[in-house]
Each structure stands twice: as structure tokens, then as C-alpha cells.
Structure 1
């Protein structure tokens, strides 16, 4: 398509669709605006073969100089003569407030990404300020519109199975590592004209936790249940587990599948030995299916068991109703013999506090419907409590166990005394309940698989203390953040292994596959991720599992050198494990920093990691800027803030109004004290200072904002100051180089660093880059 010409550079040779070969010798990049009903292009970028790149303030004004009658008139000749000696450091847009800068130029990398199909899996990597996030947003917007000429993408959408209610234009999610970046991504989406709402751009925690609680049942809800309590500050896992997240996950996922298969085998054996001939035959058939698939995926087992599931379910339902009627008759007899019994029983039930005991699976409970003469809420409560208690008692007798003395069921049994069923009755009912439970396990294995995740995980933890878990330090009902990520991914992968089969999704409304419906509601046609390296491999893999199984569209951007999370994705191998067959694309033209700061950032990266920086200046629009400033021996807050206020006042004297300024501190506890001290020094100049605890943004565009360093990933400012560089080197030795690199690359023109004592040893080689102030620039 001839549209590719827009991304070509001066001197490139391009083959037109008609076979003609042309060379690009001039290029204009227009920025259309409409004022007073008239169209113009302002700040037009002009590129020539034999002249430097230039800026045209108003293309309409320039063209008006043409007489229109002279066919050989060159409208650029007059402009060239006027600007022959123009300063190369052309004017540029100064950053106001906090935002993501627009990238103005479509380059070849962007052009290639925009033309790749919707089904592609892409990682756009590159140094700070290279327009990665803007490219991500623009590609997302392009793939949401899908005009008729995008035949391949339209065909992909039309062929994909309809698994939920989302239209393609609304079927996307974007993940970002911080709330602050989420806020400014929303602003960037607006600038690019891509519709979004609060539900589509989110952090991982904000997405994962409600789903784990409300849809997966992994986290406990207000109504109790068998899920866990999430405690983010808790650490159950060993250092080995945290440093080898992928191996830890693979160990659990393999173990839990095998454990569930063993449960299926044992259940099939038990019912195959039943006295009931119908159940015996069904159990034998189930055992043959499971045994023949021992080395196969669980999905194949589930698909084949479905053929006998209805027969098992029919037997289970009949026996449940029979036992329920038997227990209800017993309780009704006690009530008829003693008219005061019902009221006394209800009063006792009310006196018991709710306890979160290991409850029976929902499928094992006797049905509530059909109870004789359910005339009141109290009657329902009495019969329901009696049934649950008798079930627990009967099971314990059949299994030759005793009820825990302090349990609710044990206390109800003690209160009932002789009015409970006899041990002989309990043994008979208990044996039948065990058969019902095992038959129910086989007849509804998909539900049992997902409902059993918490139970299997508890068993895995017990069996792997000292390997993946700290011995003796496990809270049975609690989960750490890493543990939730592990369980969440295993749950999703289990569902997706089933959803990949057409036979399953065609029948997804069948009760047998019911749990998969909540998974299908999570699928999106496009998943995009900003600052991808700040997410762990487990989190990224879960994001990938959210992609529609027929489309698998995944686009991420980031930079391994900017990873600020200790457990983030640190290598290409980890990324490829999380996102199979992902393509890696690189960008290297930086649009953010001045020439001097870009040079400092390159040398900083080399000094810290030994890597050579790959940021190239754009052909047009790069400004020289000023050297970074430094203060050493700034141990006292008063001295640091005096130096800092002086630098801010210097900027204020050079650029009015004051451009965006940010101050980064190494610890959240330092945000407020620095803000208060700096405010006293700047209030005479009517410059306001705002503390931004936890990354919250407060105040006006011209306010100087104070952030803890972990909250500023992905943003940029005209001026940025990093306080206590040497303190951070001691506090975060593993991530110090990443924090410093990210902090230094937030600034477009003005960068300041302070040290409580001296410049860290690793930075001494960069001393020549620094000045102490900007008085003479």
C-alpha cells in the first residue's frame, strides 16, 4: 500500500504498487488544526534531502505568499532564505503538569506494528522516552476501529467464537503497574481519541482480587466459605520460591492436576464396589475412562466422563432426596412428641456463633427444596441445621471419627442428645453419604476441580514445607500476594485447557461445564500491558490467559533496564514463558530528553550495568538543554531544600510559568517533611509545593510535587530532582541502578541529584557531567 510512504525517511527507496521505484527527497509531517472555520497545519515538520530539518509555524501563512499564477513558484524559497541562519535548537513544547508526551512522528517501527494482524503477540521494547506507550495506545485504537479494508482482522473477529457479551470495540483491557500511571494513561487515551472507561485501564491487584473473590472463590467473601484471606504483607514462600516463580508454579500446577486425578480414581474405585448394581456399573465405566487417560490432559477425562455423568447424577439426586426425607421425618417426629422442642431448638441455634468450619461441598449437601410444610423462616432454619448436623455425625460414624468437640455440629449433637438419630442409623446413612459424595465427584468433576483448588493448595503447602514454604510459618487460612498469583494462574490455565476445545464451548451452557461460564466472561479480544517488566511472569501469564482463545491478541511495551519490581520479569526467557511465541520489536529514537540529558542517561546506563545505551536523537526537534546539577554533603534536610529551592527558582526565572517539576525521595516517610520544608522556602515566590503520598496527585499544574520514587514510572516532567541518591544505594542495592536510571530519565531538560554524603562509587566516573547550579546557562 502506498500509505507506507508516510513512514519512510529521506533517501529511502520505495517500490510503488504499480512497480515504479521512487526515492524520498522531501517530506512534510502535518499537524492539522481548524481555526475560525479555516484549516491550517501548525508546527509542520519539514525534511529535505540537502537541508537540515526545519519547523514551519503555519503552513497556510507560508502558502499565502504564493502568487498562484506562477507555475514555477517555490513557496519554500522565501522561508528558506528567512531561516537560513536559524538556531538549530528550535522551539519545542514545554511540559506542563504531569503527563505522557505525544510522539509526533510515525516511524518505520510504528508503521510495521500498525500493519501487523490483530492476532499478533508483540513486545515493544526500548529506552525511556522512545514513544512506546503512545505507540501501544495508537495500535490499540487502530485495532478497535477495524475499517473494511482491514480484511484479515475482520475475518479474525468474525471467525472467533462468541464467548461473552462484549462487542469488539469494548473487548479490551490495559494493565499498568501503578495507580498514578493509570491516571495519566486515561489522559493519554483521551488525547489519542481512543474511548476508554474506568473499567478498562487497571492495575493487576485491582483486577485480580475481586475476580479471585467473586468469581473463582479463591478468596473468602463476607458469607464465609473455604477460600483464603489475602494478606499482602505475609510471606509464606521461601526465597527459593520467590526467586524461581516459574518453577514454583509449574511444581504446584502439575501436582494439583495429579492430585485431582488420584481423587477421581479413588472415587471411581469406591462406587465400582458398591452394592447397588446401577451404581456399580457406572463406577466401573468411570474407572475405565479415567484409568485409560492417566497420562492425558484432564480435559480429555472430563469430556469422556460427561457421557456417563447424567446417569450418575440421576442416582445421586434420588438418594439425596431419600435421605433428606428420612431425616425430616425423624425431626418431625421429635417435634410432634414435644411441642416445646421446636422453640427450644431454635433458641439454641440462635445462641451459637457462626464458625468457619470445613464445610461440605455444596454438591454433598442434601437439597433444601421440597421440605414438608415450610411455613416459616424458623422452620427452614431448624430443618436445615438438623440435616447438616446429622450429615456430619453420620459421616464421622461411617469414617470411624469423632466430631471436633468445639465445633458447631458437636455442640448441636450434644444438645440434641437422644433426640438425634441413633449410631446404627448414622452408620447406614453415613456410608450412603460417602457413596453419594464420590458419585457426585464423578458426575460433576469440572465443578469439583475448580471448587477444590483451595483444598489442594493447602495440601501442597503442607507437603512442600522447607522447599517452597518456610517450615512452621504457615497461616492455614491466609495467602500471600505471590500465592494468590500462583493460584489465579493455575485456575485460569485449567479453564483455558478446556475452553480451547470446540466441543466444550459449544456446550458451555450445560450445567456440567457451568464453572467455565465465569471464565468466558473475562476474555477480551485485546490485552495490552504498559511497563510490562514490572509485572511478575505469573501475573503476565495470567494476563495472556485472559486473551480470547481464538484471537490471542497481546501487545506490551517496556524496558528491562527500567524494571522497578524486585519480582518483575527480568529476562526475555521469562517473558517468552509467560507469553508463548511473542515477537520482540525495538525502538531507539528518543523524544523526551535534551541532548545533554540523553548523553548523561546513556553514560549512566553504561556505568551501572555495562550496557551501551541505544537511544538515538530524533532527526528533528532535539534541544541541547543543560547539564544535570548535583549537591553533595546534603545530609540535613534544611541544606538539601535550600539547594533545591534555588534550582527551582532558576528554572522559574528562565521559563514562565513554571513548567512541570517533580521531586523524588527514596522513602514514602520523607514525602511530607520535604514538602513542608520546601514550601517555606518557595512561598515568597508564590510557588506551591504539594506532597503526593502513595502517588496521589494533588494540586495545580504549576505546583512542585513530591513523590516516593516507586510511583513515578512511565511519567515525565520538564524538571526532576532525585534526593538522597546515596541513601537509596544502601537501602535498595539490588534495584538501585534501575531506580536511578528511571528517575534520571523522567526529566526532559532539568535534572538534579542530591547526596547525603558523597556520590556513590559506581557514579564517580560521571562526575564530569554535573554542575552545581544553572545560574549561567
Structure 2
């Protein structure tokens, strides 16, 4: 029960009380007397919860309120002193309880949370959403840093019942590195900053705003400014516009898609120094599925092998693990004619090697790179993820160094139609 008149003198039930009904009753009466004495000293005429029910049961056998006044003042003073002494620990380890109490209060007042039966059940069951959990963790981590940075932190530790602050201090990291940072929310990134040792605050992150493939990841540099304020630091932002290993036509295609993602003008991606580029046109093929799709892929893979003189690294991206095995089954007999093996890579596992064609779920392709990439079923992905599909396509395109093929079961999605002029159709063979 939500009992605001919790006996602060009896945080734990005494050993043996549960097995001894008389002792349990005595402890209950004593806790009630302490709570009643404090209520008298604070000018309250009644108390609720368990203590209130005991008072109702005892009735006129309760001692006169006047006789409890001095005792109540001492109890209230001690409670306030304990609150002060325990404030550092409560500001970290006690935050979940404080937040749960705050949430119940504002819900009763009709603030912050949407009214309704579903929200009520969520809060009554003491559940927490992922966004709330991230924010709660951030506040706890920030408070740990501030306590450690406090000039007299040793006195904080000496007043605590346990060496909890040292335990938390031992978990800090000398340096923190965050890859694919744009897939994390600003709150989550702030949490990673707070994991860095406060004496160094050494934190590095890298990512491409155009490659954000989560609905909650950071969207622009304004959120980095928010990180500066929340983390009480200054993040040094450096921009990189060199495309790693991509051919000129693929860089132009990716820049055009980046323009659709960001709007406005974008800096042109430059070639890396000393790169020797093949410059094949990206291919677009519409109305392909099933066996016709497998034949088209097998023919294009054969063209890549002939052009390079050997089988380079080749990947096929599909929307979901469930589509990997069917496509592998269709491709195997066709590629076997050229002695080219094909393997399915489920759950993001990079199995096999460059001497075979590998099929991946598009969800797990970040950090990979291949000489040739085939992105299958872009229109179906657009139907399933209308807000994010262009970002997945962008990530897929940037995995290819020289050869890129994009296929659709139907037509090219409307959101990609401005890119059509960057593609050729059917074949890399002149």
C-alpha cells in the first residue's frame, strides 16, 4: 500500500518477529506509537495506513496526545536528520523509489501521463517504459559523478552505512568509445558519457546521421548541443566527408540519397587519396521476385566475377531472416554452375568468407563492406518501415565499393524515385 506514514524507525522487520506473533504485535504497536507521536508533534490529527488501523483498533486505550508531544518532536528531528545524512545515497540508489512515488502523485493530479485505464494499470503494476528507464539511469549516473566531484566526498562516504560510493566509483571507465552513435537516443548517449571517469571525461563517439536506423536515435547536431548542457561538458565535433573505397558513381548516388534524407545542400563526398576506382553504374531492376529474381542475381554475380577476374566479396541484403533460406535455396543450383558457393548469415552472424556469396538480413549490415552488394525488395521494406526504409537503403548502398544492384518486387518506392537517373537497368555487360 501507498502508506505515507511509514515508520522510519523500523525499516526492517526484527529477526524472529514473523515466527513470534506476540513479538510481531508488540513491534507493530511500538511503530504505531512512534508514528502517532510524530503526527502529534507535526500537528496532524490523524494518520492513515497500517498505523491508522491499529489506532482505530486500540481506541480509547491510546495514551493522551499531550504525553507524546516531546517524544514526537525528538522522533521528527531524528527523521529529518536521517533524511539529511542519507541524502547522497538516496539521490542515487533511492531514485527508483522516489520516481515511483512521484509518478503516482502526478498521475493522481492528472499531470504528465495520459489518463486512461491502460496507463493506470501500467503505473499500478509498477512498470516502467524504456524512455523512463533511460532518463532514470541518466539522473542516477549524473548524481554519482557530482557526489564524487564534491570537495568533501570522503565525509559523504563516512556517513553512509556501506561503502556504496566507492563501489560505484570502481565501475567508471578510463575511456569510453561509442560506435554507431546515431542509433542511440540523446539520453542514452548522455548515459555513456557518465560512464567515463569524472577525472578524465574521456569520451569518443562516431556515427553518420544519415545512417540512423532506429526511430529514437539522434537526428541532428542540435541534440549534441543538448548533450553538452546535460553532461556539463563540451563535445568537440569533427566532420568527415571522405567516402571509403566507393566508386565515383556510387558516391554520387549516396550523396543524392543523403540529400533526400537531410534536405538542403550537402557537402559532396570526396574520394579517398590514392584510390583506384572501377566505375560501374548502379543497377535497378523492378518487378522481380522468386525464381526470376534468383536468375537475375546469378547472372549479375557472374558478370562481377568475370569483370574482377575472380570472385570478390559479394553480399545480398534481404528484409528479415525468414527470407534468407528461400533465396539461398533458389540461388544454390544456379551459382553451382559456376562453382560459386552461397551461404545464409542469420541473426547478424558473419559466417563464411569472401569466396562465397553471403545473404544477410538488412538489420545487421552496419560495419560490413563488400565489392558488390545486391539490395533485394526495397519496395517491401518501404511498406514495412515507411519512416526508416530510405535510411536502410542508404546504409546498404554505402556497403558496396564498386557494384550495386537494387531490386523491387513491384516498382521503385516514390521516396526513391528522384534517384532513378543514377541507375541503369538489366546488366553491367555493355
- The two structures share one fold, judged by TM-score above 0.5: yes
CA distance in 2, matches of 1:722, 1:383: 71
Alpha carbons 1:603, 1:613 under 8 Å: kept: no
**2:174 matched residue in structure 1:** 525
What do residues 534-580 of structure 1 show as CA deviations (whole Å, max 9, x unaligned)? 11110111111122222222222222222112111111121122133
Instruction: Assess, with a 3 A threshold, how the Cα gap between structure 1 residues 754 and 582 changes in structure 2: closer, same or farther.
Output: same
**2:390 matched residue in structure 1:** 737
**2:276 matched residue in structure 1:** 622
Secondary structure, in 3 states, of the residue corresponding to 2:177?
strand
Alpha carbons 2:245, 2:271 under 8 Å: kept: no
What do residues 442-497 of structure 1 show as CA deviations (whole Å, max 9, x unaligned)? 33222233343122222333345576433333323222222211110011112222
**2:99 matched residue in structure 1:** 457
Counterpart selection for 1:712 from 365, 368, 388: 365
Residues 644-683 of structure 1 aligned to structure 2 (within 5 Å): 644-655=297-308, 657-683=310-336
Tell me how far 1:764 sits from its aligned partner: 3.1
**1:543 matched residue in structure 2:** 192
Counterpart selection for 1:552 from 179, 186, 201: 201
1:564 to 2:213 alignment? yes
Q: TM-score, normalised by structure 1?
A: 0.45
RMSD, aligned α-carbons: 3.9
Secondary structure, in 3 states, of the residue corresponding to 1:730?
helix
**1:365 matched residue in structure 2:** 11
Structure scoring higher RCO (CA < 8 A, sep ≥ 6) equals: 1
**1:469 matched residue in structure 2:** 113
1:440 to 2:94 alignment? no
Instruction: Assess, with a 3 A threshold, how the Cα gap between structure 1 residues 569 and 609 changes in structure 2: closer, same or farther.
Output: closer
CA distance in 2, matches of 1:556, 1:668: 29
Alpha carbons 1:597, 1:749 under 8 Å: kept: yes
Residues 48-63 of structure 1 aligned to structure 2 (within 5 Å): none
Tell me how far 1:519 sits from its aligned partner: 2.8
Aligned length in residues? 396
1:727 to 2:380 alignment? yes
**2:245 matched residue in structure 1:** 592
CA distance in 2, matches of 1:380, 1:672: 62
Instruction: Assess, with a 3 A threshold, how the Cα gap between structure 1 residues 423 and 526 changes in structure 2: closer, same or farther.
Output: farther
CA distance in 2, matches of 1:384, 1:621: 84
Instruction: Assess, with a 3 A threshold, how the Cα gap between structure 1 residues 393 and 749 changes in structure 2: closer, same or farther.
Output: farther
Secondary structure, in 3 states, of the residue corresponding to 1:585?
coil
1:582 to 2:230 alignment? no
Secondary structure, in 3 states, of the residue corresponding to 2:238?
strand
Q: TM-score, normalised by structure 2?
A: 0.78
Structure 2 gap ranges (5+): 37-45
Tell me how far 1:584 sits from its aligned partner: 1.6
Structure 1 gap ranges (5+): 1-354, 372-378, 405-409
What do residues 379-411 of structure 1 show as CA deviations (whole Å, max 9, x unaligned)? 69736995599449944984744549xxxxx9x
What do residues 123-158 of structure 1 show as CA deviations (whole Å, max 9, x unaligned)? xxxxxxxxxxxxxxxxxxxxxxxxxxxxxxxxxxxx
What do residues 701-749 of structure 1 show as CA deviations (whole Å, max 9, x unaligned)? 4343332322212321222111121222233232233222111111011
1:750 to 2:403 alignment? yes
CA distance in 1, matches of 2:268, 2:23: 73
**1:22 matched residue in structure 2:** none
Instruction: Assess, with a 3 A threshold, how the Cα gap between structure 1 residues 453 and 528 changes in structure 2: closer, same or farther.
Output: same
What do residues 87-137 of structure 1 show as CA deviations (whole Å, max 9, x unaligned)? xxxxxxxxxxxxxxxxxxxxxxxxxxxxxxxxxxxxxxxxxxxxxxxxxxx
Alpha carbons 2:88, 2:156 under 8 Å: kept: no
CA distance in 1, matches of 2:76, 2:13: 16
Tell me how far 1:650 sits from its aligned partner: 2.6
What do residues 180-213 of structure 1 show as CA deviations (whole Å, max 9, x unaligned)? xxxxxxxxxxxxxxxxxxxxxxxxxxxxxxxxxx
Counterpart selection for 1:534 from 174, 183, 186: 183
CA distance in 2, matches of 1:538, 1:392: 47
CA distance in 2, matches of 1:770, 1:648: 17
**1:59 matched residue in structure 2:** none
CA distance in 1, matches of 2:306, 2:18: 77
Structure number with bigger Rg: 1
Instruction: Assess, with a 3 A threshold, how the Cα gap between structure 1 residues 471 and 766 changes in structure 2: closer, same or farther.
Output: same
Instruction: Assess, with a 3 A threshold, how the Cα gap between structure 1 residues 402 and 552 changes in structure 2: closer, same or farther.
Output: closer
